[in-house]
Amino acid sequence: MGPLNLCQSCKRRRYEDSCVVPMPAICEAFPKGIPDEILVNQADHRNRYPGDHGLIFVLAAGDEDLYQAWENLWASRHGPDPYPLRPTNETQACRDVNDYRDGRIDL
């Protein structure tokens, strides 16, 4: 899939049998193809993105180190995350992160 990106540590990522090379990057949120802005780290899909059907990043079990590597890369390009919460527990944790960032809840 190319350089390190958030999708590589996401539980929603899908690998389809395909004769297309390179294999298209797809997931539950983007079954027709993950947008380039997410794949090249110009958009952070820990937050909503147009067309994602309300489905955002969910950390896959066992991929914590890969996620940390991505987070370090993101911080080197975009600055430190002002909300250093770690989505670790399915969609509820991701909703909590977004609700906190949007000011709807105080953790």
- Which pLDDT tens digit goes with each residue over 52-105? 999 999 999 899 999 999 988 888 888 877 655 454 444 455 555 555 555 554
- pTM of this prediction? 0.69
Secondary structure element (H or E) that encloses residue 88, with its range: none
- Residue 77 main-chain phi, psi, to 5 deg: -100, -30
In this structure, which amino acid lies at residue 26?
A: I
Question: What is d(CA 34, CA 8) in angstroms, rounded to the nearest whole number?
Answer: 12
Q: What is the largest CA-CA distance in the chain?
A: 48
Which ranges of 1-107 would DSSP assign to H, the alpha helix?
A: 36-39, 64-78, 90-101
Q: What is the pLDDT of residue 56?
A: 93
